[in-house]
Structure 1
Amino acid sequence: MPTYITLVNYTQKGIENIKESPARLDKVKQAMKAAGGEFKAFYLTMGHYDMVVISEAPNDAVYATTMLAIGAAGAVRSETLKAFPEKEYREIIATLP
Protein backbone atom coordinates (compact mmCIF):
# COMPACT_ATOMS: atom_id res chain seq x y z
CA MET A 1 0.00 0.00 0.00
CA PRO A 2 1.19 3.55 -0.65
CA THR A 3 2.66 5.40 2.32
CA TYR A 4 1.69 8.96 3.25
CA ILE A 5 3.31 11.45 5.60
CA THR A 6 0.82 14.05 6.74
CA LEU A 7 1.86 17.31 8.38
CA VAL A 8 -0.92 18.65 10.56
CA ASN A 9 -1.73 21.94 12.29
CA TYR A 10 -4.55 22.69 14.67
CA THR A 11 -7.07 25.26 13.51
CA GLN A 12 -8.41 27.81 15.96
CA LYS A 13 -11.36 25.49 16.56
CA GLY A 14 -9.03 22.57 17.17
CA ILE A 15 -6.83 24.36 19.68
CA GLU A 16 -9.85 25.80 21.50
CA ASN A 17 -11.04 22.21 22.00
CA ILE A 18 -7.58 20.70 22.57
CA LYS A 19 -8.76 18.37 25.33
CA GLU A 20 -10.93 16.60 22.74
CA SER A 21 -7.88 15.96 20.56
CA PRO A 22 -7.16 12.38 21.80
CA ALA A 23 -10.77 11.35 21.05
CA ARG A 24 -10.49 12.94 17.59
CA LEU A 25 -7.26 11.00 17.01
CA ASP A 26 -9.06 7.77 17.87
CA LYS A 27 -11.76 8.64 15.32
CA VAL A 28 -9.10 9.31 12.67
CA LYS A 29 -7.57 5.89 13.34
CA GLN A 30 -11.00 4.28 12.99
CA ALA A 31 -11.72 6.18 9.76
CA MET A 32 -8.39 5.09 8.28
CA LYS A 33 -9.06 1.46 9.16
CA ALA A 34 -12.63 1.62 7.79
CA ALA A 35 -11.20 2.94 4.50
CA GLY A 36 -8.87 -0.06 4.25
CA GLY A 37 -5.79 1.83 5.38
CA GLU A 38 -3.46 1.60 8.32
CA PHE A 39 -2.43 4.29 10.77
CA LYS A 40 1.28 3.57 11.28
CA ALA A 41 2.53 6.35 13.58
CA PHE A 42 1.53 9.61 15.23
CA TYR A 43 3.84 12.28 16.65
CA LEU A 44 3.08 15.50 18.48
CA THR A 45 5.77 17.84 17.20
CA MET A 46 7.32 21.19 17.99
CA GLY A 47 8.04 23.67 15.24
CA HIS A 48 6.09 24.62 12.15
CA TYR A 49 3.70 21.66 12.42
CA ASP A 50 1.78 20.46 15.46
CA MET A 51 1.60 16.80 14.48
CA VAL A 52 3.01 14.32 11.99
CA VAL A 53 1.09 11.22 10.92
CA ILE A 54 2.45 8.29 8.93
CA SER A 55 -0.14 6.05 7.35
CA GLU A 56 -0.93 3.74 4.47
CA ALA A 57 -4.00 3.53 2.27
CA PRO A 58 -5.02 1.36 -0.68
CA ASN A 59 -4.60 4.28 -3.11
CA ASP A 60 -4.41 8.07 -3.41
CA ALA A 61 -8.17 8.51 -3.87
CA VAL A 62 -8.97 6.62 -0.67
CA TYR A 63 -6.44 8.65 1.30
CA ALA A 64 -7.62 11.94 -0.17
CA THR A 65 -11.25 11.15 0.61
CA THR A 66 -10.39 10.20 4.18
CA MET A 67 -8.28 13.32 4.73
CA LEU A 68 -10.92 15.59 3.22
CA ALA A 69 -13.52 14.15 5.59
CA ILE A 70 -11.19 14.71 8.55
CA GLY A 71 -10.43 18.27 7.43
CA ALA A 72 -14.12 19.03 7.00
CA ALA A 73 -14.60 18.53 10.75
CA GLY A 74 -12.66 21.77 11.17
CA ALA A 75 -10.16 20.90 13.93
CA VAL A 76 -7.05 20.56 11.73
CA ARG A 77 -5.45 21.56 8.45
CA SER A 78 -3.09 19.15 6.77
CA GLU A 79 -0.49 18.80 4.06
CA THR A 80 0.17 15.31 2.72
CA LEU A 81 3.33 13.97 1.18
CA LYS A 82 3.28 10.70 -0.72
CA ALA A 83 6.29 8.73 0.42
CA PHE A 84 8.27 6.14 -1.53
CA PRO A 85 10.17 3.55 0.51
CA GLU A 86 13.80 2.85 -0.30
CA LYS A 87 13.01 -0.12 -2.56
CA GLU A 88 10.68 1.97 -4.73
CA TYR A 89 13.15 4.86 -4.67
CA ARG A 90 15.84 2.58 -6.07
CA GLU A 91 13.46 1.26 -8.75
CA ILE A 92 12.53 4.81 -9.78
CA ILE A 93 16.17 5.90 -9.99
CA ALA A 94 17.06 2.78 -12.00
CA THR A 95 14.59 3.80 -14.72
CA LEU A 96 16.33 7.13 -15.35
CA PRO A 97 18.09 7.42 -18.70
Structure 2
Amino acid sequence: MQKYVLLGNWTDRARETFLEIPERVKLTKNIIGELKGSIDFFFTMGEYDFVAIIDMPDEESMVKYLFKAYEARYITIKTLRAWTDNEFAEMVTEI
Protein backbone atom coordinates (compact mmCIF):
# COMPACT_ATOMS: atom_id res chain seq x y z
CA MET A 1 0.00 0.00 0.00
CA GLN A 2 1.09 3.54 -0.68
CA LYS A 3 0.57 6.17 1.98
CA TYR A 4 -0.56 9.76 1.34
CA VAL A 5 -1.05 12.75 3.63
CA LEU A 6 -3.73 15.25 2.64
CA LEU A 7 -3.79 18.75 4.06
CA GLY A 8 -7.22 20.17 3.37
CA ASN A 9 -9.54 23.10 3.66
CA TRP A 10 -13.27 23.42 3.18
CA THR A 11 -14.42 25.53 0.26
CA ASP A 12 -17.09 28.19 0.61
CA ARG A 13 -19.52 25.65 -0.84
CA ALA A 14 -18.74 23.23 2.00
CA ARG A 15 -19.01 25.94 4.64
CA GLU A 16 -22.51 26.82 3.39
CA THR A 17 -23.61 23.26 4.16
CA PHE A 18 -21.36 22.68 7.16
CA LEU A 19 -23.74 20.26 8.89
CA GLU A 20 -23.40 17.85 5.95
CA ILE A 21 -19.65 17.40 6.47
CA PRO A 22 -20.00 14.21 8.58
CA GLU A 23 -22.01 12.61 5.75
CA ARG A 24 -19.37 13.68 3.23
CA VAL A 25 -16.70 12.06 5.38
CA LYS A 26 -18.68 8.80 5.34
CA LEU A 27 -19.03 9.07 1.55
CA THR A 28 -15.29 9.67 1.25
CA LYS A 29 -14.55 6.58 3.33
CA ASN A 30 -16.87 4.52 1.12
CA ILE A 31 -15.26 5.77 -2.10
CA ILE A 32 -11.77 5.04 -0.80
CA GLY A 33 -12.92 1.62 0.42
CA GLU A 34 -14.27 0.81 -3.04
CA LEU A 35 -10.82 1.63 -4.40
CA LYS A 36 -9.35 -0.88 -1.88
CA GLY A 37 -7.88 1.86 0.29
CA SER A 38 -8.40 3.21 3.79
CA ILE A 39 -8.46 6.68 5.36
CA ASP A 40 -8.03 8.25 8.79
CA PHE A 41 -9.55 11.73 9.12
CA PHE A 42 -8.44 14.35 11.64
CA PHE A 43 -10.18 17.70 12.00
CA THR A 44 -7.69 20.42 12.87
CA MET A 45 -7.40 24.03 13.97
CA GLY A 46 -4.97 26.34 12.27
CA GLU A 47 -3.94 26.67 8.64
CA TYR A 48 -5.82 23.52 7.58
CA ASP A 49 -9.36 22.38 8.40
CA PHE A 50 -8.44 18.71 8.26
CA VAL A 51 -5.63 16.24 7.74
CA ALA A 52 -6.20 12.81 6.25
CA ILE A 53 -3.89 9.83 6.08
CA ILE A 54 -4.77 7.59 3.14
CA ASP A 55 -3.47 4.15 2.24
CA MET A 56 -4.04 3.18 -1.39
CA PRO A 57 -2.93 0.12 -3.34
CA ASP A 58 -1.34 2.25 -6.09
CA GLU A 59 -1.07 5.73 -7.60
CA GLU A 60 -3.84 5.07 -10.09
CA SER A 61 -6.33 4.45 -7.27
CA MET A 62 -5.22 7.63 -5.55
CA VAL A 63 -5.67 9.67 -8.71
CA LYS A 64 -9.17 8.24 -9.17
CA TYR A 65 -10.06 9.32 -5.64
CA LEU A 66 -8.58 12.79 -6.16
CA PHE A 67 -10.63 13.31 -9.34
CA LYS A 68 -13.80 12.42 -7.41
CA ALA A 69 -12.82 14.68 -4.52
CA TYR A 70 -12.12 17.65 -6.78
CA GLU A 71 -15.28 17.06 -8.78
CA ALA A 72 -17.44 17.65 -5.69
CA ARG A 73 -15.79 21.06 -5.09
CA TYR A 74 -16.11 20.84 -1.29
CA ILE A 75 -12.40 20.75 -0.49
CA THR A 76 -9.04 22.07 -1.55
CA ILE A 77 -6.11 19.83 -0.71
CA LYS A 78 -2.39 19.47 -0.84
CA THR A 79 -1.40 15.85 -1.39
CA LEU A 80 1.88 14.47 -0.10
CA ARG A 81 3.26 11.00 -0.84
CA ALA A 82 4.57 9.52 2.42
CA TRP A 83 6.82 6.63 3.38
CA THR A 84 7.13 4.90 6.72
CA ASP A 85 10.47 5.00 8.50
CA ASN A 86 11.11 1.38 7.47
CA GLU A 87 10.28 2.07 3.82
CA PHE A 88 12.56 5.10 3.84
CA ALA A 89 15.42 3.17 5.46
CA GLU A 90 15.07 0.43 2.85
CA MET A 91 15.21 2.96 -0.01
CA VAL A 92 18.28 4.66 1.44
CA THR A 93 20.18 1.41 1.94
CA GLU A 94 19.64 0.53 -1.73
CA ILE A 95 21.55 3.64 -2.89
Whether TM-score is above 0.5 comes out as: yes
* Amino acid paired to 2:9: N
SS in 2 for 1:5: strand
Q: Per-residue deviation at 1:38?
A: 1.1
Matches within 5 A, 1:1-97: 1-39=1-39, 41-96=40-95
- Range moving further from structure 2, 25-34 or 72-81: 72-81
The gaps in structure 2 that reach 5 residues or longer are none
Distance of 2:25 and 2:17 partners within structure 1? 13
Query: Cα RMSD (Å) of the superposition?
Result: 0.9
Q: 4+ runs of 1 displaced by more than 6 Å?
A: none
Distance of 1:72 and 1:12 partners within structure 2? 15
Q: Per-residue deviation at 1:68?
A: 1.5
The gaps in structure 1 that reach 5 residues or longer are none
SS in 1 for 2:76: strand
* Amino acid paired to 1:89: F
